[in-house]
Amino acid sequence: MRILVLGGYGLFGGRIARTLAADGELEILVAGRHAAQAQAFIDNSGIGRQRMQALQLDVEAGDLAARLRALEPDLVIHAAGPFQQRDYAVAGASVRAGAHYIDLADARGFVEGFDVLDAEAKAAQRWAISGASSVPGASAAVIEEFLPRFSRLDAVETAIFPGNRTPRGLATTRAILSYTGQPYRALIDGRWRNVHGWQSLRRVRIDGLGTRWLARFEAPDLGVLPQRYPALQTCDTRAGLELRRMHFGLWLSSWFVRARLLHSMQPFAAALLKLSNHWVDAGSDAGGMQVVLRGQGIAGKPLALRWTMLLRNGDGPQFPCTAAIVLARKLARGELHGSGAKACLDLFTLDEYLDALRGFAIETRVEEIAR
């Protein structure tokens, strides 16, 4: 299988390219704006680098569709975010070039509207999958794993809390700042309400990590999960930075946007990333994710479950890459039947996800908590 990874030497794309190249049966095209950087990435890679090829390819180039047709990939993995201001040109061009398509989009509107390509993807007998990342890819797999224990699922609350020493990139920083202080709609207690990005602070204690602060962030789950599970009364997503100076600094800046003193925090992305890297030696290399499910159990009594995954040794960035890795492997083995364009829901199990993370410093647990 010939796989083209857009953003193939970036924070997430690089991990995807190296992991798939190590499988030994896949040809990986490492693409980005600079061929020299792509080649340097390959030269510094370990197992599988002989199966990687560097090339220059800008996702915003006017001749992208023609370049894709010439390259003849079987699969295009789009890891060149952020997706907040992108359209579906790359996905459409990939399908028309005869390739399957997967992206790591974390932009709610992008993922919610992705099924606009469904008819075209089905006509081409190809898959086009958006949001193959922590949310909704991993969070939806967690829900499906524990859904049989519920007769009615009322609430899903997801939290992501990276370790401060784990790498971060400019695209991720821009994505976070795109919703900081901005209003968006969320299903809370049976009503669609206006909430604001990086506000509504919550303090939690996580066994193995200690205390972390969380704040709301806009994610694809907020739209696609209530559609997938119509009985939901609450769907909430939160995230937290380990260093309080960074977490509360972002919270403070969110008020400037909410008060319309600033249009957006995105113009400060490069400066804030540089500042955060100045503090990269503080904190820890441990982070993780939690998904809390609340509702009524099979026995008719209230039930609340909390699934937690911890990642150590700086392995946090591997987690959002894993959905794309799992899907690529399933496509290569002919195990992903059907076609169409959709959000990353119901395409793999939690066991498949965790199996792809073997060898990394992770631990998971699930526990009943007070309703």
Cβ neighbour number for residue 290 with a 10 Å cutoff: 21
In this predicted structure, what is the pLDDT of residue 370? 83
In this predicted structure, what is the pLDDT of residue 171? 86
In this predicted structure, what is the pLDDT of residue 167? 84
In this predicted structure, what is the pLDDT of residue 42? 96
Give the count of alpha carbons within 13 A of 369, CB side only: 13
Give the count of alpha carbons within 13 A of 236, CB side only: 28
Whose CA is closest to 158, among 104, 220, 231? 220
Question: 335 with 284: CB under 8 angstroms?
Answer: no
Interior angle at CA 281, CA 310 and CA 17, nearest 5: 60
In this predicted structure, what is the pLDDT of residue 191? 97
The burial of 216, by beta-carbon neighbours within 10 Å (0-12 exposed, 13-18 middle, 19 or more buried), is given as: buried
What Rg value do the Cα atoms of the chain yield, rounded? 20
pLDDT digits (tens, 9 = 90+) for 330-357: 999 999 999 999 999 999 999 999 999 9
DSSP state of 142: H
Q: How many residues does the chain have?
A: 371
Distances (CA, A) of 82 to 173, 325, 344: 9, 19, 17
In this predicted structure, what is the pLDDT of residue 25? 87
**113 pLDDT above the threshold of 90:** yes
In this predicted structure, what is the pLDDT of residue 24? 84
Question: Encoding tokens for residue 29?
Answer: 């095209």
In this predicted structure, what is the pLDDT of residue 371? 73
In this predicted structure, what is the pLDDT of residue 297? 96
Question: Encoding tokens for residue 336?
Answer: 């992903």
Question: Encoding tokens for residue 40?
Answer: 């340097």
User: pLDDT band at residue 231, thresholds of 50, 70 and 90?
Assistant: very high
In this predicted structure, what is the pLDDT of residue 211? 94
Q: How far apart are the first and last CA of the chain?
A: 47
Q: Average pLDDT, whole number, for the chain?
A: 95
Whose CA is closest to 129, among 335, 291, 327? 327
In this predicted structure, what is the pLDDT of residue 104? 96
Cα-Cα-Cα-Cα torsion 277, 283, 287, 292, nearest 10 degrees, comes to: -120
Cα-Cα-Cα-Cα torsion 146, 79, 10, 76, nearest 10 degrees, comes to: 110
Question: Encoding tokens for residue 92?
Answer: 């459409």
Question: 226 with 187: CB under 8 angstroms?
Answer: yes
In this predicted structure, what is the pLDDT of residue 47? 82
**187 pLDDT above the threshold of 80:** yes
pLDDT digits (tens, 9 = 90+) for 42-95: 999 988 889 999 999 988 888 888 999 999 999 999 999 888 878 999 999 999
pLDDT: is 370 or 336 the higher one?
Answer: 336
pLDDT digits (tens, 9 = 90+) for 129-172: 999 999 999 999 999 999 999 999 999 999 999 999 988 888 88
Q: What domains can be seen in the chain, in order of their start residue?
A: 2-133+317-345 (3.40.50.720), 135-316+356-368 (3.30.360.10)
pLDDT digits (tens, 9 = 90+) for 248-300: 999 999 999 999 999 999 999 999 999 999 999 999 999 999 999 999 999 89
Question: 319 with 106: CB under 8 angstroms?
Answer: no
Amino acid letter, 184 = Y
